[in-house]
Amino acid sequence: MPVKNQKWIYNSTFSGAPKPSDFKFVEDQLPEVGENEVHFKAVAISVDPYMRVLGSVIPPGGVMFGAQVAKVVKSRNPKWKVGDAAVGYFGWQTNWVGVPEDIQSPFGGIEEPYEVPQVVSNVTHALGAAGLTGNSAYFGMMELCCPKPGETVVVSGAAGAVGSLAGQIAKIQGARVIGFAGSDAKVDWLVSECGFDKAFNYKKISVVEALKTAAPKGVDCYFDNVGGQMTADVISCMNSYGRVAVCGSIANYNADRSKPVLVPDYHLNVIIKQIKMEGFLAQRWLGPKWIQGIHQLAEWINQGKIVPRETVTNGFLNIPSAFIAMLKGDNIGKAVVTV
């Protein structure tokens, strides 16, 4: 019997904040499974900030890109058997048929799906705390920030999917952690549940003023999810030989690209303080290290050392609204849509 496939098509290039009309819902019939092909059926679909950035440069007309956890329904590929759970870039659709080894990553190149490790106890965690989100926090903090016991670490976008994990990883390493978020509820959660030493609502207190009180001896590491003025302010409070891991640029995602973007000048501070500042994509660590990262994160989750939180939206039809809400900061932790 033919299988219907539901899709969200990337309908028009984002201009400013994404809106519902930028997406188009369509249905079609799934093709038969050919040689070396697999039929994956979506279980949960991820919505992430990077989709806003790539949506400005990828031509409209195709299925909206993104990762999902999916189950194998039928397989003619020796690597996959019916019932396997996979994480892959299958996009915003309920079903996918094709050769897994040929899947294109939205970041460029081929990125094959991988089986969800058994140590991951919650399937949605495979998209979040024990997946791309978790490894972004893990490798950015461990490989670039390299916090030492007793050092002071600042995390911006701290109540988001990556930021909340980055701060908890720094705490495991013995650092003192300060977070910035956009509401009192997020600030309370960071301190009471995530174990941050201090957290501030940046809408109520300036970054510099907060750090003068919370970090009188200066900041050693900065995990940057925001960019813009916040980054300039944190860097002004950093110690010599500080480290900055640049993971995101939330402050600039919706900027009008037809006009120059005003960027605060923090170069002199970086030079004078000899600060090491490095941008990264988590895909740098694909391969054996990727799975090692997932296993470490899952172990910490199972031990209660990391407390993951998700904002879960139910229903495939609600993916665009979940994506738009996530970009507005309405979520706490990882934003996921269950299908």
213's CB contacts (< 8 A; 6+ apart) are: none
Helix runs in 31-159, H state only:
50-54, 132-139
**150-205 per-position pLDDT tens digit:** 999 999 999 999 999 999 999 999 999 999 999 999 999 999 999 999 999 999 99
Residue 260 has pLDDT above 90, yes or no: no
For residues 26 and 59, state if they share a domain: yes
Within 10 A of 188 (CB to CB), how many other CB atoms are there? 14
Residue 45 has pLDDT above 80, yes or no: yes
For residues 111 and 203, state if they share a domain: no
The answer to whether residue 285 is domain-embedded is no
For residues 76 and 146, state if they share a domain: no
Q: Compute the half-sphere exposure of residue 224: CA atoms within 13 Å on the CB side of its CA.
A: 29
Q: Which of 80-84, 157-161, 254-258 has the lowest mean pLDDT?
A: 254-258
Q: Which of 230, 263, 280 is the last residue before a domain boundary?
A: 280
The answer to whether residue 294 is domain-embedded is no
**CA–centroid distance for 237 within its chain:** 26
For residues 151 and 224, state if they share a domain: yes
242, 221 Cβ separation under 8 angstroms: yes
**19-42 per-position pLDDT tens digit:** 999 999 999 999 999 999 999 999
For residues 114 and 157, state if they share a domain: no
Question: What is the extent of the structural domain holding 76?
Answer: 4-128+308-338
In one letter, which amino acid is 187? V
User: What is the residue whose two structure tokens read 């296993």?
Assistant: 295
For residues 87 and 11, state if they share a domain: yes
CATH of the domain at 146: 3.40.50.720
In one letter, which amino acid is 18? P
The answer to whether residue 290 is domain-embedded is no
For residues 104 and 196, state if they share a domain: no
- Cα 107 from Cα 303, distance rounded (Å): 33
Helix or strand holding residue 228 (H, E): helix 228-236
For residues 101 and 165, state if they share a domain: no
Task: Give the predicted TM-score (pTM) of the model.
Answer: 0.92
For residues 82 and 203, state if they share a domain: no
For residues 57 and 162, state if they share a domain: no
For residues 122 and 176, state if they share a domain: no
- Please tell me the total count of domains within the chain: 2
CATH of the domain at 42: 3.90.180.10
Q: Compute the half-sphere exposure of residue 267: CA atoms within 13 Å on the CB side of its CA.
A: 2
- Cα 181 from Cα 202, distance rounded (Å): 6
For residues 142 and 255, state if they share a domain: yes
DSSP for residue 160: B
**189-247 per-position pLDDT tens digit:** 999 999 999 999 999 999 999 999 999 999 999 999 999 999 999 999 999 999 999 99
The answer to whether residue 286 is domain-embedded is no
Task: Give residue 213's pLDDT.
Answer: 97
Confidence bin at 109 (pLDDT 50/70/90): confident
The answer to whether residue 291 is domain-embedded is no
The answer to whether residue 102 is domain-embedded is yes
